């Protein structure tokens, strides 16, 4: 069963999407939120499998929400549901940690297919959405190598290169050791680094540590 939360400031959109997803035999909507803080807090407690997030929210963006959700619940995959099809939005969402991006104009079955895909760990873009972003999602991070990392991922990177164990890092940051393992893996993947010595060299070059 795929557990989900919905984050959108339009109650009618949330209600419609919720009814669509609850009708699927393999999906369960745990919560529906128009308030970002409530959504992030709930995700931290309940760790849903997938969060469906609107990219245009009052006071903040779905891109920032994506980062916060991934920090609060590393195992939760984020699927952006948006009326914006500009490739730049798609690229920024992918860099923030979203695994899928679906246009709101897409039919219901497309959203259902996208949720199943990201839950299985596969990137999903509806139709021809953001082809340039998919081809080179990391292009924006070339000038700033750390640009693709969230604040929490940077904290984990710093602890790792300073020699702290997974248990020590988890205790310092107040999260589970499993979450730290996920953060470490995500950092290595985003930076294209395969071992700890290379990670330490990278950190020294970029001023993260002088160890």
Residue 39 in contact with residue 7, Cβ under 8 Å? yes
Which residue ranges of the chain lie beneath pLDDT 70?
58-59, 128-147, 206-211
pLDDT of residue 141: 41
Q: What is the spatial distance between Cα 184 and Cα 8, in angstroms, rounded to a whole number?
A: 30
Give ∠ CA 171-145-180 in degrees, rounded to 5. 20
pLDDT of residue 140: 42
pLDDT of residue 139: 46
Q: Which helix (H) or strand (E) holds 154?
A: helix 151-161
* Domain spans of the chain, in order of start: 2-139, 144-205
Q: What is the spatial distance between Cα 66 and Cα 98, in angstroms, rounded to a whole number?
A: 6
Which top CATH class is 144-205? mainly alpha
pTM as predicted: 0.67
Q: Which CATH architecture best describes the domain 2-139?
A: 3-Layer(aba) Sandwich (3.40)
């Amino acid at each position: 069963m795929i557990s989900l939360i919905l984050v959108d400031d339009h109650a009618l959109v949330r209600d419609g999407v919720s009814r669509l997803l609850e009708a699927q035999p393999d999906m369960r909507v745990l919560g529906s939120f128009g308030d970002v803080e409530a959504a992030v807090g709930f995700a931290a407690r309940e760790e849903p499998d997938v969060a469906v997030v609107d990219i245009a929210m009052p006071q903040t963006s779905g891109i920032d929400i994506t980062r916060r959700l991934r920090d609060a619940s590393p195992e939760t995959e984020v699927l952006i549901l948006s009326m914006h099809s500009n490739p730049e939005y798609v690229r920024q969402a992918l860099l923030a940690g979203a695994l899928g991006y679906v246009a709101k104009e897409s039919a219901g079955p497309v959203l259902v297919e996208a949720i199943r895909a990201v839950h299985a760990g596969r990137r999903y873009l509806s139709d021809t959405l953001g082809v340039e972003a998919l081809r080179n999602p990391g292009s924006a991070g070339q000038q700033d190598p750390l640009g693709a990392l969230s604040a929490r991922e940077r904290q984990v990177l710093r602890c790792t290169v300073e020699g702290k164990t997974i248990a020590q890092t988890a205790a310092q940051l107040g999260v589970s050791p499993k979450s730290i393992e996920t953060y470490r893996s995500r950092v290595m993947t985003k930076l294209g680094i395969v071992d700890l010595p290379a990670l330490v060299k990278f950190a020294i070059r970029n001023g993260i540590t002088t160890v």
